[in-house]
């Protein structure tokens, strides 16, 4: 998922889906937990990177005015 072709929207959807999966579980599924956590961390990194790029662009824009 750390591929640069993954969009913020796609990564956010993964986070949302995994969150919902965990909330809906009546009993924790330990066998799938690590997979969900790893997938979520990759999606989080994509989202965080995109947000940082936008923040930097906004900071640069407002500093130059």
pTM above 0.75, yes or no: yes
pLDDT value at residue 1: 61
Nearest residue to 6 (alpha-carbon basis) of 46, 57, 54: 46
Exposed, middle or buried by CB within 10 Å (0-12, 13-18, 19+), for 11?
buried
Nearest to 46 by CA among 9, 11, 18: 11
Q: What are 5-40's pLDDT values in tens digits?
A: 899 999 999 999 999 999 998 888 888 999 999 999
What value, to the nearest 5°, has the Cα angle with vertex 1 and ends 19 and 42? 50
């Amino acid at each position: 998922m750390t591929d640069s072709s993954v969009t913020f929207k796609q990564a956010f959807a993964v986070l949302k889906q995994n969150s919902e999966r965990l909330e809906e579980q009546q009993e924790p599924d330990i066998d799938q937990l690590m997979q969900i956590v790893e997938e979520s961390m990759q999606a989080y990194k994509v989202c965080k990177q995109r947000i940082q790029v936008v923040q930097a662009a906004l900071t640069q824009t407002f500093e130059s005015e």
